[in-house]
Structures are given as structure tokens and as C-alpha cells.
């Protein structure tokens, strides 16, 4: 086991590119079909057990520990979470304070530049940009995590029902899920978010949670079906275990692996979507709670004079989303039986 | 001939059968495809304390037979007929809920692959106590000392520590022992073992077989042993049913069947076992062809294309059962009968 670990870590990146080229060949599937296939592919990942004696999680960790991609992703994610938690205490200025108000000249200098004590300068209202960026991580994290949690909860419920009951219930649930998947997700989120009379961060959370539900539902249903056909479920049935116990004790815990991996990937998407929605003004209008997408939206009128006002929040969004994606992808690869040798 | 008949009779044939399978048929049908008769009129009896073997190669219907008796076949796409009388009740007509109550408490099953048959995310102890909680109404606390006892009985060293282990932490033999412990948790009267030693290496196989034999003798449990390994049959079974293409083609007591096999398929199976007393370099003689060559039972003997003793009648009509519920065969031109 020890001597093969090196190879596996090195090869894992090559392998994933192979998979991608394979997907690109042949007839071009439709957008919705491609998404469904991808979700179904994920369903098989992480469900197969490892060789005897080594638990799945331990062997995956062995691989992850030496994977630089995972380490970078995890470092970014960890730094982001820590910052989001402690930002109100370490931010040099209050986010509502306007220390550079008298430097703002609407005609000649709408956005004050950097100066001692304000090393990124201020925004168009004279508020310290660095402090707002720091504190903005908090809203971003809350919206991303809570939306993904809600989406996960909804997806788990639907996926469990579909995968456990089967038959016409399965067909009904999955057709609804397919309809939701066929609508481009950001468009669906816009539609849901624009229904709210008073937009707030909860509008964002609900809109993004709704677009996550079908992904989790389909994924979980797939791995529940795989579990239903597994030997240990047959063995449990042969011992007369009740159906509810089979679903919740024998199928669901074993089917969760790929869903958890998908959740880390979904966090990145949720963060980007949340930023997109609040950029368009569908998010929290309350400026005492800065949010990167909202800051990005407010930077629009000044893009020619002060492009940095847009670049900083945009950069933050990109880096954080990248962190979650790198971590999620390497997690998926480590748990995928196909990349092991 | 009378001599043969006499020795062919298995022992323990006096008491009432515990399980009596009559004319069991399982037909699979997928939409737009032809029907497939996986089990085609199988009948056999199992008496308390007796070990009955179902022998045959892959695809002969032995596993499907056991799943049908247990009521574990997938709900759609199959049709089961016939009867399986267990303790006066027909298992095939019981409601799913009633069947669930019997499974694990009255009838239990041991599977082929001990690793995949254990739930990887729950501890061994939890999996053993689960059965007792389910059928005996015990709390987990009450069931735990019993689980320790059970694990000890199936030969797992340091059972207390093993309770907290997960399946991946046990060796293959240990896992099979744990599975046996789960099956025995509620003292079932009938145990069905579906190739319990196939996934194990030979030394462990011998240990597991010895354990099964011990448990059958000690508890008086009836055992249905499903296997393709005639060595297992020779060591364990009182009565042997040789299945081919979903039908029983020969039945007899262990000693009789091995000494004087009548059906050419049984002879073929026996000849294909490597023997220690064979000359060095001598080739094994397998049964030629594969199950894919089978003829339909309705108009011929399914085994005819692979048979060394084939006569004209074999490809024209269905061979009928020659014998009774204890000894018999299904062949137009049986072997050894001239003696």
C-alpha cells in the first residue's frame, strides 16, 4: 500500500483529463443531459469500498495528504473561514464609518486612493475598502454555507424518498428534478430571487438552495439505488430488518459519500451565484452588511476611474471559489475508485 | 441394484420435514425478451438437523432457489410458483411483513462474500445486536452480552473488542464468522448457506465448514448448503441435490451419490475435481461446453448437448424423474445402472 501511494497521487491529475476528453467525444449531448450524466457519474464515486484492511477514508486521506492541489484548496478554504469568523474584530475600521468622507470629490475624485491607515483606499462613500472586504467574507460564507445546507437538506429528502420508495414515487420525484435541472441554474435563481418583495440575504439563500436541490437529489437517488442492490442490504433483508431501518441505517449512511463531496463543490458554485445575484441587486441592499457581490455591483459606475474597486471583491470571490473547487475536486478524485491502482 | 438403493438412502430421513419445497418454479421475464426459467420445478425436503446440498455450476438456479424460499427476489420481472412449506406455512404465499418476521428468527441466510455482505459503516457488534433487537425485542444493552457470547461461539477471539470493530478491520475468515453469528443470533431453525466458503482461502474454508458442521450438530438447525464445490458436499451434506438448468437431475445420500453416480452430469462434476491420487501431469476432464448450449427442458434434456451418454431420446423428449423423494435421477441413459 505505502509504495503505491506516490504513483496514485501523481497520476490522479492525468487521469481526470483522460476522463474529460472521453466525455467530449461522440455525439454532443444536450446541456441538461450532460449535467445529468455528470451527476450520475458522481453517484458511483466514493461508494465502492477499498481493499481489505484499509478504510476508505484512511486511504483517501493518505492520498490527499500529499496532493498539493488539495493542500492549496484546503489552505484557501481554511483561511477564508477563519477570516470570516474573526473579521469584525480584526477589521481596522467599522464598515459603516466614513473616515475618508472629506476626501471624496464627486466631480474630480469620486473614489479616494490608498493612504496611510487605509492601504486599499476607500469606496465612493469614503468607507475603508479593506475593512469592508474583510467583513464581506462573512456574508459570503453565510450565504454560501447556509444555501448549500438548505439545498443539501432538500436534496437529501427528495433523494431518499426517490431512492428508498422507488416505483412511481421515484419516477415522479425524478421527473420534477429533471425539469428543474433542464432550466439553467442561474436563470432559475434569478427568477426565484426576483419574486421576493424585500430582498435580503435570505432571498439569496433560498434562491441558491433551490437550484442546489435537484443536483443533490439526483446524486443521492443514484447512490441509494446502488446501495439497494448491494449485498449488505440483501443480507440485512435476509435477517428480517425492517424497511425503515434498512433505509436509514444500511442505505443512507453508505450513500452519503458522493453527496458530501458534491457539497464542497457546490459551495463554490453557491458563492459565485450569490455574488452574481447581489451584483444584480437581488441580494441584501443593506450596506451596513457588506458582501462581495454587492460591492462589485456598486463599483460599476466607477469602473473607468477606479477599476480596483471592482477588482478586489472580484478577486476575493475568484480565490475563494477556486479554493473550494480545488478541495472538492481533489476530494472527489481521492474517493473515486476509478483513479485508484 | 438393491444394494445401491440401500446405501443411497441418506440418514436422518425419518422425521417430518421442516422445509418441504414442491415444484418450485421461478421465471424471469424482461419486457420484450423471452421468458427464462431459472428454477424449473425443483422439489426437495429438509429435515431438522439435516444438511441438504444444492450443487451445480453457475446459472443452474441454486441461488435463485434460495432467494425464492427467503422471499428476497426482486419484486418485479419474476414469477414464482409452487410451494415451500416451512413448519406448516407456505413461505411463498406469506405477506411481506410476515415473511420479514420469519427471516432472521426462523430462517437465516449466509452469503458468499463476507466483505460486501457486511455494512461497512456500522460496527460488527451493532450489526449482531440489530438482529436480536429486531426479533427478540431486546434493548441494545441486553443484546450486547449475547452478542459477545455469539461471537465467542463462532470462534472470534477477543469478542468484546471485536464488537467495536468495523468490517474492514477484520480478516476474511473473521468476517464470515461474524456473518454466521448474525445469522445464528436468534437461533433459526433453518439456515441457508449460499456458497459460504467461495470467497475464502482453503484453510479458512475448512475452518468455516467445521464451524458450520459443529453448529448444525449442536443446535439441531437444518442447513441448506448451496455450493458448486463437491468437496464441501462430501464433508458436510447428508443429502445432495444436483441441479442442472433449473431442474434437479440427481438426488441421493452423500455416500451413495459419490460411490455410484447415475446422471452423466454428476459423473462429469466428479471427474472434474483434481485428485491427489491421480498420476502426475494427468489432465483434468471438465464437462465440455457451457450452460449456454442448453436445450429447453420442454422438448429435450437440457444437458444433452454436453452429455457423453447421449441417446436419441435425449433430444426428443423431456426425461422424467426416476425414483422418489429421497433417491433418484432424471436421465434416459443413466450410468452405472448395468452393474
Per-residue pLDDT averaged across B306-333, rounded?
Answer: 86
Predicted confidence (pLDDT) per residue in B101-117, tens digit: 999 899 999 988 888 89
* Chain pair A-B, CB pairs under 8 angstroms: 84
Percent of chain B surpassing pLDDT 90 = 25
- Shortest distance between the Cα of B16 and any Cα of chain A, in A, equals 25
pLDDT at residue B265 above 70? Answer: yes
> Does the beta carbon of A250 lie under 8 angstroms from any beta carbon of chain B?
yes
In angstroms, the CA B287 to CA B57 distance is 10
Of A230, A238, A242, the CB nearest to B116: A230
CB A66 within 8 A of CB A9: yes
pLDDT at residue B320 above 60? Answer: yes
With CB atoms and an 8 Å threshold, state whether A235 touches B109: yes
- Does A269 map to a domain? yes
* pLDDT interval class at B339 (50, 70, 90): very low
In angstroms, the CA B199 to CA B227 distance is 12
> Does the beta carbon of A4 lie under 8 angstroms from any beta carbon of chain B?
no
> Does the beta carbon of B63 lie under 8 angstroms from any beta carbon of chain A?
no
Of A52, A238, A250, the CB nearest to B172: A52
Determine which of B110, B168, B173, B201 to mutate to test the interface with A (most A C-beta atoms within 10 Å). Answer: B168
Which chain B residue has the Cα nearest residue A235?
B117
Residues of A in contact with B116 (CB under 8 A): 49, 230-232
> Does the beta carbon of B97 lie under 8 angstroms from any beta carbon of chain A?
no
List the domains of chain B with CATH numbers.
Answer: 2-106+188-329 (3.40.50.300), 116-187 (no CATH)
The per-residue DSSP string of A172-230 comes to: HHHHHHHHHHHS-HHHHHHHHHHT-SS--HHHHHHHHHHHHHHHHHHHHHHHHHHHHTS
Residues of B in contact with A54 (CB under 8 A): 168
> Does the beta carbon of A106 lie under 8 angstroms from any beta carbon of chain B?
no
Supply the DSSP symbol for A66. Answer: T
- Does A243 map to a domain? yes
> Does the beta carbon of B164 lie under 8 angstroms from any beta carbon of chain A?
no
Show Cβ contacts of residue B339 under 8 Å, excluding neighbours closer than 6 positions.
B1, B4, B260
Pairing of strands B78-86, B51-55: unpaired
Q: How far is CA A223 from the centre of its chain?
A: 20
Range list of H helices, B137-238: 140-153, 159-162, 172-184, 202-219, 230-236
Looking at residue A341, what is its pLDDT?
42
Pairing of strands B239-244, B51-55: parallel
CB A290 within 8 A of CB A278: no
> Does the beta carbon of A234 lie under 8 angstroms from any beta carbon of chain B?
yes
> Does the beta carbon of B187 lie under 8 angstroms from any beta carbon of chain A?
no
For B164, the grid coordinates are: 467495536
pLDDT at residue B29 above 90? Answer: no
- Of A182, A159, A175, A171, nearest to A29 by C-alpha is A182
Q: What is the ipTM of this complex?
A: 0.84
- Does A268 map to a domain? yes
- Of B88, B169, B91, nearest to B124 by C-alpha is B169
Looking at residue A176, what is its pLDDT?
93
Residues of B in contact with A235 (CB under 8 A): 109, 111, 117-118, 179, 182
In angstroms, the CA A222 to CA A162 distance is 9
Residues of B in contact with A255 (CB under 8 A): none
For A147, the grid coordinates are: 444555501
CB B173 within 8 A of CB B207: yes
- Shortest distance between the Cα of B42 and any Cα of chain A, in A, equals 21
> Does the beta carbon of B66 lie under 8 angstroms from any beta carbon of chain A?
no
- Neighbouring CB atoms inside 10 A of B15's CB total 10
3-state secondary structure (DSSP) of residue B319 = coil
Of A53, A56, A239, the CB nearest to B104: A239
With CB atoms and an 8 Å threshold, state whether A249 touches B130: yes
Residues of B in contact with A231 (CB under 8 A): 111, 113, 116-117
In angstroms, the CA A51 to CA A60 distance is 12
With CB atoms and an 8 Å threshold, state whether B131 touches A49: no
Element (H, E) at B125: helix B124-136
> Does the beta carbon of A82 lie under 8 angstroms from any beta carbon of chain B?
no
3-state secondary structure (DSSP) of residue A245 = helix
Supply the DSSP symbol for A14. Answer: H
Report chain B's mean pLDDT, rounded to a whole number: 85
Element (H, E) at B8: helix B2-8
Determine which of A232, A248, A260 to mutate to test the interface with B (most B C-beta atoms within 10 Å). Answer: A232
> Does the beta carbon of A165 lie under 8 angstroms from any beta carbon of chain B?
no
Pairing of strands B19-28, B78-86: antiparallel
For chain A, what is the domain count? 1
In angstroms, the CA A112 to CA A60 distance is 50
In angstroms, the CA A130 to CA B17 distance is 85
> Does the beta carbon of B184 lie under 8 angstroms from any beta carbon of chain A?
no
Residues of A in contact with B128 (CB under 8 A): none
In angstroms, the CA A67 to CA A331 distance is 10
In angstroms, the CA B148 to CA B178 distance is 11
With CB atoms and an 8 Å threshold, state whether B118 touches A234: no
CB B211 within 8 A of CB B204: no
Show Cβ contacts of residue A196 under 8 Å, excluding neighbours closer than 6 positions.
A203, A282
Looking at residue B11, what is its pLDDT?
52
- Of A58, A50, A62, nearest to A7 by C-alpha is A62
> In the Cβ-directed half-sphere of A37, how many Cα atoms lie within 13 Å?
12
Please state the length of chain A. Answer: 341
> Does the beta carbon of A245 lie under 8 angstroms from any beta carbon of chain B?
yes
CB B43 within 8 A of CB B325: yes
Question: Could you say which residues of chain A have pLDDT below 70?
Answer: 1-29, 43-56, 336-341
CB B190 within 8 A of CB B86: yes
- Does A98 map to a domain? no
CB B227 within 8 A of CB B241: no
Residues of B in contact with A59 (CB under 8 A): none
In angstroms, the CA A273 to CA A320 distance is 13
3-state secondary structure (DSSP) of residue B3 = helix
CATH of the domain at A292: 1.10.3720.10
With CB atoms and an 8 Å threshold, state whether B134 touches A242: yes
- Shortest distance between the Cα of B329 and any Cα of chain A, in A, equals 32
C-alpha to C-alpha distances, B238 to B84, B87, B193, B251, nearest whole angstrom: 20, 21, 15, 11
Lowest mean pLDDT among A4-18, B78-92, B148-162, B290-304: A4-18
Looking at residue A280, what is its pLDDT?
86
- Does A241 map to a domain? yes
- Of A309, A329, A289, nearest to A95 by C-alpha is A289
Q: Which single residue is written with the C-alpha cell 500500500?
A: A1
Of B116, B134, B179, the CB nearest to A241: B134
End-to-end CA distance of chain B: 7
With CB atoms and an 8 Å threshold, state whether A245 touches B166: no
In angstroms, the CA B313 to CA B319 distance is 8
> Does the beta carbon of A58 lie under 8 angstroms from any beta carbon of chain B?
no
pLDDT at residue B338 above 60? Answer: no
Determine which of B120, B136, B164, B224 to mutate to test the interface with A (most A C-beta atoms within 10 Å). Answer: B120
In angstroms, the CA B171 to CA A232 distance is 17
Residues of A in contact with B70 (CB under 8 A): 238
In angstroms, the CA A18 to CA A81 distance is 33
For B32, the grid coordinates are: 420484450
Supply the DSSP symbol for A239. Answer: T
3-state secondary structure (DSSP) of residue A43 = helix
- Does A167 map to a domain? yes
Beta-ladder partners of A191: none
Structural domain that includes position A280: 133-323
- Neighbouring CB atoms inside 10 A of B154's CB total 23
- CA-based radius of gyration for chain B: 21
With CB atoms and an 8 Å threshold, state whether B109 touches A245: no
For A299, the grid coordinates are: 463599483
Q: How far is CA B140 from the centre of its chain?
A: 32
Amino acid at each position: 500500500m505505502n509504495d503505491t501511494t506516490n504513483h496514485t497521487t501523481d497520476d490522479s491529475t492525468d487521469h481526470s483529463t483522460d476522463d474529460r476528453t472521453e466525455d467530449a467525444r461522440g455525439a454532443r449531448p444536450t446541456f441538461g443531459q450532460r449535467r445529468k450524466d455528470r451527476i450520475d457519474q458522481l453517484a458511483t464515486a466514493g461508494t465502492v469500498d477499498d481493499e481489505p484492511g484499509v478504510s476508505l477514508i484512511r486511504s483517501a486521506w493518505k492520498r490527499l495528504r500529499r496532493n498539493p492541489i488539495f493542500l492549496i484548496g484546503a489552505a484557501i478554504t481554511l483561511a477564508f473561514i477563519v477570516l470570516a469568523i474573526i473579521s469584525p474584530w480584526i477589521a481596522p475600521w467599522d464598515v459603516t464609518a466614513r473616515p475618508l468622507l472629506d476626501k471624496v470629490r464627486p466631480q474630480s475624485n469620486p473614489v479616494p486612493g490608498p493612504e496611510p491607515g487605509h492601504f486599499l483606499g476607500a469606496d465612493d462613500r469614503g468607507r475603508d475598502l479593506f475593512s469592508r472586504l474583510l467583513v464581506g467574507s462573512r456574508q459570503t460564507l453565510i450565504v454560501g454555507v447556509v444555501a448549500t445546507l438548505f439545498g443539501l437538506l432538500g436534496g437529501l429528502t427528495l433523494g431518499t424518498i426517490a431512492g428508498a420508495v422507488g416505483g412511481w414515487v421515484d419516477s415522479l420525484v425524478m421527473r420534477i428534478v429533471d425539469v428543474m435541472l433542464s432550466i439553467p441554474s442561474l436563470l432559475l435563481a434569478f427568477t426565484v430571487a426576483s419574486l421576493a418583495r424585500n430582498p435580503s440575504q435570505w432571498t439569496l439563500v433560498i434562491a441558491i438552495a433551490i437550484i442546489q436541490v435537484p443536483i443533490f437529489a439526483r446524486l443521492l437517488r443514484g447512490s441509494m439505488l446502488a446501495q439497494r442492490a448491494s449485498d449488505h442490504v440483501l443480507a440485512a433483508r435476509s435477517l428480517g430488518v425492517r424497511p425503515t431501518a434498512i433505509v436509514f441505517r444500511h442505505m443512507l449512511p453508505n450513500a452519503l459519500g458522493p453527496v458530501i463531496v458534491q457539497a464542497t463543490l457546490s459551495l463554490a458554485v453557491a458563492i459565485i451565484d450569490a455574488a452574481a445575484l447581489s451584483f444584480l441587486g437581488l441580494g441584501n441592499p443593506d450596506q451596513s452588511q457588506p458582501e462581495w457581490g454587492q460591492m462589485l455591483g456598486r463599483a460599476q459606475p466607477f469602473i473607468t476611474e477606479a477599476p480596483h474597486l471592482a477588482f478586489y471583491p472580484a478577486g476575493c470571490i475568484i480565490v475563494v471559489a477556486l479554493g473550494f473547487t480545488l478541495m472538492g475536486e481533489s476530494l472527489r478524485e481521492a474517493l473515486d475508485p476509478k483513479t485508484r491502482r | 441394484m438393491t444394494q445401491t438403493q440401500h446405501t443411497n438412502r441418506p440418514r436422518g430421513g425419518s422425521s417430518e420435514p421442516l422445509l418441504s419445497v414442491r415444484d418450485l418454479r421461478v421465471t424471469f421475464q424482461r419486457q420484450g425478451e423471452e421468458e427464462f426459467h431459472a428454477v424449473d420445478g425443483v422439489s426437495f425436503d429438509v429435515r431438522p438437523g439435516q444438511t441438504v446440498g444444492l450443487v451445480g455450476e453457475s446459472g443452474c438456479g441454486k441461488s435463485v432457489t434460495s432467494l425464492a424460499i427467503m422471499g428476497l427476489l426482486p419484486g418485479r420481472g419474476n414469477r414464482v410458483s409452487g410451494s415451500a412449506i416451512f413448519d406448516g406455512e407456505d413461505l411463498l404465499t406469506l405477506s411481506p411483513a410476515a415473511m420479514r418476521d420469519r427471516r432472521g428468527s426462523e430462517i437465516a441466510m449466509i452469503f458468499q462474500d463476507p466483505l460486501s455482505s457486511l455494512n461497512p459503516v456500522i460496527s460488527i457488534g451493532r450489526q449482531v445486536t440489530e438482529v436480536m433487537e429486531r426479533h427478540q425485542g431486546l434493548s441494545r444493552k441486553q443484546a450486547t452480552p449475547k452478542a459477545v457470547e455469539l461471537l465467542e461461539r463462532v470462534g472470534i477471539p477477543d469478542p468484546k473488542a471485536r464488537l467495536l470493530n468495523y468490517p474492514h478491520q477484520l480478516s476474511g475468515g473473521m468476517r464470515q464468522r461474524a456473518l454466521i453469528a448474525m445469522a445464528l443470533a436468534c437461533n433459526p431453525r433453518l439456515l441457508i448457506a449460499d456458497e459460504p466458503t467461495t470467497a475464502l482461502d482453503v484453510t479458512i474454508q475448512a475452518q468455516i465448514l467445521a464451524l458450520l458442521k459443529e453448529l448444525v450438530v449442536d443446535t439441531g438447525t437444518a442447513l441448506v448448503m448451496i455450493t458448486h464445490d463437491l468437496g464441501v458436499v462430501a464433508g458436510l451434506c447428508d443429502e445432495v441435490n444436483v441441479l442442472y438448468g433449473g431442474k434437479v437431475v440427481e438426488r441421493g445420500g452423500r455416500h451413495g451419490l459419490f460411490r455410484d453416480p447415475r446422471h452423466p452430469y454428476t459423473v462429469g462434476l466428479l471427474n472434474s475435481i483434481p485428485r491427489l491420487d491421480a498420476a502426475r501431469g494427468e489432465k483434468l476432464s471438465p464437462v465440455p461446453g457451457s450452460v449456454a448450449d442448453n436445450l429447453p427442458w420442454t422438448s429435450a434434456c437440457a444437458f444433452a448437448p454436453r452429455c457423453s451418454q447421449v441417446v436419441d431420446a435425449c433430444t426428443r423428449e423431456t426425461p422424467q424423474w426416476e425414483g422418489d423423494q429421497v433417491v433418484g435421477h432424471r436421465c434416459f441413459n443413466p450410468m452405472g445402472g448395468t452393474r
